[in-house]
Amino acid sequence: MKKSLSFRLSVLLIIYTGLILLLASFTIINATHYHFQLYGNEMEQGHNQTELLNTHLEQAIIQSVGMTIGGALIVALILSIYIAKRISSPLISMKNLTLIMARGKRDVRLPLKGVPKDELGELAASINHLADQLQQQEQLRVSMTENIAHELRTPLTTLNSYLAAIQDGIWEATPERIQSSREEIHRLIHLVNDLEELQTLSSPDFDLSREEVQLVKSIDQVINFMQPSFSEKGVVLEKGIIPDITIYADEHRLIQIWTNLISNSLKFTQANGKVKIYGIMKPDGVQITVEDTGIGIPDKELSNVFERFYRVDKSRNRKMGGGGLGLAITKALVERHDGQIWAESNAGTLFHVYLPLK
């Protein structure tokens, strides 16, 4: 049974008071009884009656008060040892642990085994949970920093060596070389923008500006905008049946979701391939699918592709690629809409997005 701390403290206080009252009653009865007996005996020996009574009453009171105080002190000592063991010592361990964590050590935890499930037990569990979160954040921060450094290093090194070669007169600054330098710079700008975007999306202050959006309209905009790139690569972009509904969403963000998925499909589909976008109604929502006949994704990588900086083919021709943040951003956007996104792959790849209607 779960016993709260206040309950246990009240019980202790009641027990303490009860014990003191018992002790007081017992010593009063005992001392009075004893002194009245003495008084009786001394009376028979002919002593002064009033004087005797006064002395024995005084003695009985002093003795019972003394014994009660002594007993109360002993009981208080025993109870305070119990309270110190049960309450202060877990609090001290928690304080020590938080101090250790504040100094940057993240792999320390409080033992929970055998700890009573009261407020203190819950506090210890919360502190452990907080430590887990901090450790995770720390790992994420470290891996993000490593990834960013890695992503920045390659284009910067390339640019630096281009410029050095031109400066040394080894290379001429031909339009092609300037163009490829600009592409590197463009990639850097893309990466920085994506990083900023991801930061914005994960901030608790970020809010969607939702309104009633015509689903088909948001998809048509992306199709029109992307059509030229498809024609250029020789890939067919097809619009299947899309439920004619309005959803309560942020139109700009919705367009961003379709753009990321369709541009991925274009990137990973060879000439003469096909990319199709279609949707079906689901209970309380709608499911939009972007399907392509591209290179596909191995089954075991299907859930990883939503991780930051994750790319299936690490050594892929860099010309093809962005920073691997597109799907992480897309997932964050879908989840901000209370939806879900998942991938499926057979010959090509299918990305499904479920969005609730309200």
Cα–Cα dist 324/341, whole Å: 16
CB 68 within 8 A of CB 20: yes
Q: Which of 56, 294, 332, 355 binds ligand ATP (CB under 6 A)?
A: 294
CB of 298 to ligand ATP, least distance (A): 9
From the list ligand ATP, Mg ion, none, partner contacted by residue 64 (C-beta under 5 to 8 A by kind): none
Q: Which of 101, 325, 333, 355 binds ligand ATP (CB under 6 A)?
A: 325
Q: Kindly write down the DSSP assignment for every residue of 87-121, as one continuous string.
A: IIHHHHHHHHHHHHHHTT--S-----TT--SSHHH
Q: Does the footprint of ligand ATP cover residue 293 (CB under 6 A)?
A: no
Q: Which of 90, 279, 324, 339 binds ligand ATP (CB under 6 A)?
A: 324
Phi-psi region at 176: left, alpha or beta (left = phi > 0; alpha = psi -120 to 50):
alpha
Residues that bind Mg ion (rule: CB under 5 A) add up to a total of 2
From the list Mg ion, ligand ATP, none, partner contacted by residue 273 (C-beta under 5 to 8 A by kind): none
CB of 251 to ligand ATP, least distance (A): 21
Cα–Cα dist 316/197, whole Å: 24
Q: Does the footprint of ligand ATP cover residue 302 (CB under 6 A)?
A: no
- Locate all alpha helices (DSSP H) within 45-88, ordered by sequence: 49-83
Q: Does the footprint of Mg ion cover residue 326 (CB under 5 A)?
A: yes
Residue 58-77 contact track with Mg ion, rule CB under 5 A, x = bound? --------------------
Residue 304-323 contact track with ligand ATP, rule CB under 6 A, x = bound? -x----xxxx-------xxx
In the bound state with ligand ATP, the residue whose beta carbon lies nearer, of 250 and 291, is: 291
DSSP state of 314: T
In the bound state with ligand ATP, the residue whose beta carbon lies nearer, of 37 and 227, is: 227
From the list ligand ATP, Mg ion, none, partner contacted by residue 266 (C-beta under 5 to 8 A by kind): none
Cα–Cα dist 39/35, whole Å: 6
In the bound state with Mg ion, the residue whose beta carbon lies nearer, of 117 and 316, is: 316
Owner of token pair 């392509």: 292
The helix (run of H) or strand (run of E) holding residue 39 is: helix 5-44
Cα–Cα dist 328/333, whole Å: 9
CB of 11 to ligand ATP, least distance (A): 59
Site for Mg ion in 215-274 (CB under 5 A): 264
Cα–Cα dist 120/128, whole Å: 12
Q: Does the footprint of ligand ATP cover residue 87 (CB under 6 A)?
A: no
Nearest to 346 by CA among 294, 274, 278, 306: 294
Nearest residue to ligand ATP by CB is 322
CA atoms within 13 A on the CB side of 338: 10
Residue 208-237 contact track with ligand ATP, rule CB under 6 A, x = bound? ------------------------------
In the bound state with ligand ATP, the residue whose beta carbon lies nearer, of 155 and 294, is: 294
Structure tokens at 202: 């994960």
Query: Computed over its alpha carbons, how large is the radius of gyration of the chain?
Result: 39
Residues near Mg ion (CB under 5 A) are 264, 326
